Amino acid sequence: MDNQEFSDLAQLWQSTPASPPPALEQCIQRHRKQRLGLFAGIAIETLIMLLVSAWFVLALFEPAPLVTQLWLGFGCVWGASMYTLVNRSRITSLRILKNQQLSQALEAHQQLLRQEIWRWDLSIKATLLFALVLVLFILVQYAMSSVFLSNGLLGLLVVAILLPVFKAKKRRAGEVLKTLSE
């Protein structure tokens, strides 16, 4: 491609038809809604964590069966660990976004994707662990009362749905990382 050919291409590229001006006001509104959504999500997660913790503490002081106490204890530790690890990764991502120099965008975005992949990986492993303990809980309950708990089976169904979703999310994040690394 010689200079003249490239110049013709540049002219063609720059001669795109005019389009209506940007709708900045709508963008500002959308940005506000996104921020509100983000804070609402974090608030809901925190609330769930507090509720499960309160439930666990109440179960410790009430005459609840040991298996239930153990199950709630596991749920509490599992939830708290997930909450801490995922939010630590989110804070790392926010720091990357805040500190990123404009000239290092690709690198920063690759780091963000690595954090995202790490979070999905953690979610997969944590969900598998949760499923394993849930199965144990169901079996112990069955051994004690010869009745399968419908809530436990429902929980397993939710886990069975969530796992492929997490795996797909992780795979797609990996694909995007590959695109950015080209």
Partner 1 sequence: MTEQIKEQDRQQVVEAFWPQIRRAAKGYERRAALCEELSQDMAFALWRALNKFDGQCKLNTYVYRVIHNVAVDHIRKHSKQNEDELADEHAHSPDSPESNMQKQQQQQRLERAIHQLPLSLRQVMMLKLEGIDTAEISDVLGISEANVGIRLHRAKTQLTEQLMEKY
Interacting residue ranges for partner 1, rule: CB under 8 A: 1, 6, 9-10, 12-19, 21-24, 26-28, 31, 101-106, 109, 112-113, 172, 175-176, 179-180, 182
Tokens 């609840």, residue located: 64
- Which residue's CB is nearer to partner 1, number 10 or number 54? 10
What does DSSP assign to residue 103? G
- Which residue's CB is nearer to partner 1, number 17 or number 63? 17
The CA distance from 79 to 52, in Å, is 8
CB of 103 to partner 1, least distance (A): 3
Using only C-alpha atoms, the chain has a radius of gyration, in whole angstroms, of 25
Dihedral class, residue 23 (left if φ above 0, else alpha if ψ from -120 to 50, else beta): beta
CB of 94 to partner 1, least distance (A): 14
- Which residue's CB is nearer to partner 1, number 66 or number 102? 102
**Residue 72: partners with Cβ closer than 8 Å, 6 or more residues away:** 52, 55, 56, 59, 64
Q: Which two tokens stand for residue 70?
A: 């153990």
Asked whether the beta carbons of 113 and 93 are under 8 A apart, the reply is no
CB of 27 to partner 1, least distance (A): 4
- Which residue's CB is nearer to partner 1, number 52 or number 177? 177
- Which residue's CB is nearer to partner 1, number 82 or number 113? 113
CA angle 68, 72, 73 (to 5 degrees): 115
CB of 112 to partner 1, least distance (A): 7
CB of 43 to partner 1, least distance (A): 23
